[in-house]
Copies of this chain bind each other. A is one copy, B any other.
Amino acid sequence: MAILVVEDEEGIVSFVRRGLETAGYQVLAAGDGIDGLTMALSPDVDLVVLDLGLPGIPGEEVLRRLRQRRPSVPVIVLTAKDAVSDRVANLDAGADDYMVKPFSVSELLARVRARLRTGGQERGDVLAAGGVVLDLGARTASVEGRTVNLSAREFGLLEVLIRHPAQVFSQPQLLDRVWGYNFDGASNVVEVYVSQLRRKLGPGRIETVRGAGYRLAGGAR
């Protein structure tokens, strides 16, 4: 886990650095807003500790720009002010948490942990196979990083397939698992939904095994 500290006071940087490194984090530091913003845009940075009292660009501006480019990275703001209105203003501006100077290292650590825990990736189980990623908690799907909108049935069908990559499921099996029907042979719903899924996922993701059923292509991608 890499944490970026954007702070101009040398003393605070070394003091924070020691605490974070002891707790097992990798620490990067930037002395002003420009450097801070540049470094914060790197995907290697998992969390940002940002001082608002920076020389040059105001910290609020750094925060705003960072939010535009990387909306999901947790940011903990350091400030000297403690008015409630400031607090709310900062949270509105995109900070995830807020600390007033002076602060203790243990307090910082607690907030870092809390942010990496909840703000980071609190997602339910994520399934991935054949270049397709299914987030069961957020109910989203993506192919090669591209987000795909799925309806309930489409999602259910893909979930069954992705839970058992490369395994072939017959139409009756899928009808049972996805639709809950125990009966009825005269419906081509499965075919229709496979067709729709293929259109959304792109070609080559779902394979037909003639006379047997369908499977998710499991190959390395």
Interface residues of A (CB under 8 A from B): 1, 23-24, 67-68, 71-72, 84-85, 87-89, 91-92, 94-96, 98, 106-107, 109-111, 113-114, 116-119, 122-124, 126, 128, 131, 133, 135, 137-139, 142, 144-145, 151-153, 155, 163-168, 209-213, 215, 218-221
Expressed in whole angstroms, the minimum distance between the Cβ of A5 and any Cβ of chain B is: 19
Expressed in whole angstroms, the minimum distance between the Cβ of A36 and any Cβ of chain B is: 19
Copies in the complex: 2
Contact check, B71 vs A117: say whether CB atoms are below 8 A apart.
yes
Contact check, B23 vs A135: say whether CB atoms are below 8 A apart.
no
- Of chain B, the residue at the smallest CB distance from A215 is B138
> Among the interface residues A88, A89, A96, which one has the most CB atoms of the partner chain B within 10 A?
A88
Across-interface contacts of A107 in B (CB, < 8 A):
118, 122
Excluding A92-B142, A96-B128, A139-B213, 10 further A-B contacts by CB distance (< 8 Å) are: A67-B221, A71-B114, A88-B126, A88-B135, A89-B145, A92-B128, A106-B114, A106-B118, A151-B210, A155-B212
Across-interface contacts of A139 in B (CB, < 8 A):
168, 209, 212-213, 215
Contact check, B118 vs A110: say whether CB atoms are below 8 A apart.
yes
> Among the interface residues A67, A85, A110, which one has the most CB atoms of the partner chain B within 10 A?
A110
Contact check, A116 vs B128: say whether CB atoms are below 8 A apart.
no
Across-interface contacts of A220 in B (CB, < 8 A):
71
Contact check, B92 vs A116: say whether CB atoms are below 8 A apart.
yes
The complex places the Cα of A145 from the Cα of B168 at a distance, in Å, of 20
A-B contact pairs, 18 of them (CB 8 A): A24-B87, A71-B118, A71-B220, A72-B218, A88-B126, A88-B133, A92-B117, A92-B131, A92-B142, A92-B145, A122-B165, A122-B167, A124-B167, A139-B209, A139-B212, A151-B211, A152-B212, A155-B212
Expressed in whole angstroms, the minimum distance between the Cβ of A75 and any Cβ of chain B is: 10
The complex places the Cα of A109 from the Cα of B163 at a distance, in Å, of 20
Contact check, B126 vs A91: say whether CB atoms are below 8 A apart.
yes
Contact check, B96 vs A110: say whether CB atoms are below 8 A apart.
yes
